[in-house]
Amino acid sequence: MDKILVHGGRSLEGQVRIGGSKNSALPILAATLLTKEKCVIDCVPDLSDIHYMLTILSQLGAEVERASGVVQILAEKIRTEAPYEIVRKMRASVCVLGPLLGREKKAKVSLPGGCVIGDRPIDLHLKGFEALGAKVTVKGGDILLEASRLRGARINLRGRQGPTVLGTGNVMMAAVLAEGETVIEGAAEEPEVVDLADFLTAMGARISGAGTQRLEIEGVKELHAAKHTVIPDRIEAGTFLVAGAIAGKKVTITRTNPRHLEAVLTALTTAGFEISHTEESVTISPNGSRKPLHLETLPYPGFPTDMQAQFCAMLATRHGTSVVTETVFPQRFMHVAELKRMGANIELSDHRATIHGVEQLSGAPVMASDLRASAALVLAALPADGVTEINRVYHIDRGYERIDEKLNSLGAHIERVKA
Ligand code: EPZ
């Protein structure tokens, strides 16, 4: 198992290129199951979560070829049962449910287990499938879906915690091959849902309203081959901007879409940084004084939960007293205990962190937990005094392509060693 050593105190400067979005690529790869024809997906990031998804698709019978970011998938004949050994490694495996149900009218996939960022039910996905006419059974740890036919329906997918991103994608993927019209109210508006809708449309699906809370889907008989380029990863982009904020002189991220980053850019500006952008790049530089923030995570276009941990790392030093409230995954604060090991002064109560910025953090051995919490530790370590040793690095590799190499190219000093 690898670990990462971050030698603190280097300042960052330069340009870094952002990869394709993990959270777009995962459901898009699953969607290739909806056709017997070959699909070609470009800008697929090289991440362990993507590897798991490709393995699941192969196990389901698809022919998968991959060469430098381009994945070709031919799912001519498929099976409908996804094996537990792989599914259990990644919660996003549930994305194959919608396509299997849509195409084969049946699916058997293990129910995802607990998740470190909190209880992550899939009741809304199942409610959507039921509304389309599927019989849903949970038995022996598996979700079983079965339908003689799927019929378009009106479905409200808004849950107690707001809309569901993968749930919206999953139900949309089943509905594109249902008979008649489906209307999804309370749909997630995330750019990743729009990207999936764009790919499905390229395959011949008829979808309108992507990017709003109301999706209308006119079912078609079959889908066909398509090519698609995955959008840039807005969370990787945001993470490198926070790296620039924490330790940068001037850092530019390229191959990004600033429109997807509005809430993050607003927060960085409010926190005292200078931001400029073009159509495809964003530059961050320090601008004198650093200010505290009052942040609340929200579904898109609000401030993303996937950037909460990285902002906590930034606010842990020299920003006065900030308050960060997590409304999407109220228990997603595993990074706080580890940041405290580095000298941060953070009080946690309920789903809120009050962060009293200290002058400097110090390097310490810390434990990576979920993906974004782990990235936050790398960020916190950049300006810290001494060396931070981050264990369980595989969490970072699930969602960041070569984060150590990319940060080193900006001037950081990060080593990856075998534990
Ligand atoms: C997606 O997860 C992302 N994952 C997550 O990215 C991200 O944090 C999350 O959306 C929110 O933006 C992928 O895209 C692979 P949700 P998803 O369903 O779709 C509740 C990362 O770090 N809910 O939108 O699974 C749920 O508990 C990650 O890359 C239900 O109650 O999240 C949560 O409180 C991790 N019932 C809220 O909705 C359901 O059936 C939003 O979750 C589904 C969700």
How far, in Å, is the centroid of ligand 1 from the Cα of 90? 13
Pairwise CA distance, residues 381 & 48, whole Å: 24
* DSSP characters over 234-285: HHHHHHHHHHHHHHEEEEEEES--GGGGHHHHHHHHHTTEEEEE-SSEEEEE
**Is the pLDDT confidence value at 114 over 80?**
no
Distance 107 CA to ligand 1 centre (A): 21
Rounded average pLDDT over 247-252 = 94
Bridging pattern class, strands 281-286 and 273-277: antiparallel
E strand spans, 68-201: 70-74, 81-82, 106-110, 135-139, 142-146, 154-156, 181-185
Per DSSP, the residues of 357-387 read -BS--B--EEE--SHHHHHHHHHHHTTSBSE
Is residue 192 over pLDDT 80? Answer: yes
Pairing of strands 345-349, 352-356: antiparallel
d(CA 138, CA 293) in angstroms, rounded, equals 44
- How many C-beta atoms surround the C-beta of residue 264 within 10 A? 25
Cβ of 291 closer than 6 Å to ligand 1, yes or no, is: no
d(CA 135, ligand 1 centre) in Å: 24
| pLDDT, average across residues 139-151 | 95
Residue with the smallest CA separation from ligand 1 atom 42 is: 164
- Expressed in angstroms and rounded, the spacing between residue 178 Cα and the centre of ligand 1 is 25
What is the rounded average pLDDT of the residues 314-342? 96
User: Three-state DSSP class for 307?
Assistant: helix
Question: For 117-131, 190-204, 340-354, which range has the lowest pLDDT when averaged over its residues?
Answer: 117-131
Q: Is the CB of 115 under 6 A from ligand 1?
A: no
Q: Please give the average per-residue pLDDT across 385-411, as a whole number.
A: 94
| Mean pLDDT over the full length of the chain | 95
Q: pLDDT tens digits, residue range 3-21?
A: 999 999 999 999 999 999 9
How far, in Å, CA of 180 to CA of 7, rounded? 59
In the predicted structure, residue 115 carries a pLDDT above the cut 90? no
Task: Measure Cα distances from 418 to 1, 28, 282, 314, 345 in Å.
Answer: 6, 33, 34, 28, 31
Query: What is the mean predicted confidence (pLDDT) over 228-253?
Result: 97
Written as one string, the DSSP assignment of 219-245 is --S----EEEEPPB-HHHHHHHHHHHH
Q: What's the gap in Å between 23 CA and the centre of ligand 1? A: 10
> How far, in Å, is the centroid of ligand 1 from the Cα of 177?
24
- Please return the burial class of 7, using the count of CB atoms within 10 Å of its CB with bins 0-12, 13-18 and 19+: middle
Q: What is the pLDDT of residues 263-280, one digit of tens each?
A: 999 999 999 999 999 999
Q: Ligand 1: does its nearest atom lie under 6 Å from the Cβ of 329? A: yes
CA–CA separation, 232 and 271 (whole Å): 24
Residue 1 predicted with pLDDT over 80? no
Annotate 183-208 with DSSP letters as a single string. Answer: EEES----HHHHHHHHHHHHTT-EEE
- Which atom number of ligand 1 is nearest to the Cα of residue 330? 34
Residue-wise pLDDT for 176-185, tens only, equals: 999 999 999 9
Q: For residue 363, is pLDDT > 70? A: yes
Residue nearest to atom 40 of ligand 1 (CA): 122
* Least confident segment among 30-39, 85-94, 106-115, 267-276: 106-115
For ligand 1, atom 27, the nearest C-alpha belongs to 120
Active-site residue flag, 95: no
In this structure, which residue's CA is closest to atom 15 in ligand 1?
Answer: 23
Best residue among 22, 120, 298 to mutate for probing ligand 1, ranked by most atoms within 8 Å of CB:
120
> Ligand 1: does its nearest atom lie under 6 Å from the Cβ of 157?
no
* Three-state secondary-structure class, residue 168: helix
Confidence of residue 118 (pLDDT cuts 50, 70, 90): confident
**Where residue 368 falls among pLDDT bands split at 50, 70, 90?**
confident
Rounded CA separation 218/225 (Å): 19
Indicate if ligand 1 lies below 6 Å from the C-beta of 26.
Answer: yes
- Indicate the pairing of strand 181-185 with strand 154-156: parallel
Most confident of 214-228, 361-375, 385-399: 214-228
Global pTM value: 0.97
Higher pLDDT, 382 or 370: 382
294: exposed, middle or buried (Cβ count in 10 Å: 0-12, 13-18, 19+): exposed
Q: Residue 171: CB within 6 Å of ligand 1? A: no
Inform me whether the pLDDT recorded for 258 exceeds 90.
yes
Res 259: pLDDT: 98
Sign of CA dihedral 385, 4, 393, 280: positive
Rg (CA), the chain: 21
Q: Which whole number is the average pLDDT over 210-228? A: 98
Confidence label for 87 from pLDDT (cuts 50, 70 and 90): confident
Q: Is the preceding peptide bond at 301 cis, omega within 30 degrees of 0?
A: yes
Is ligand 1 within 6 A of the CB of residue 161? yes
d(CA 336, CA 355): 10
Q: Measured in angstroms, how far is the CA atom of residue 165 from the centroid of ligand 1?
A: 6
What pLDDT does residue 113 have?
Answer: 63
- Residue 128 near ligand 1, beta carbon < 6 Å: no
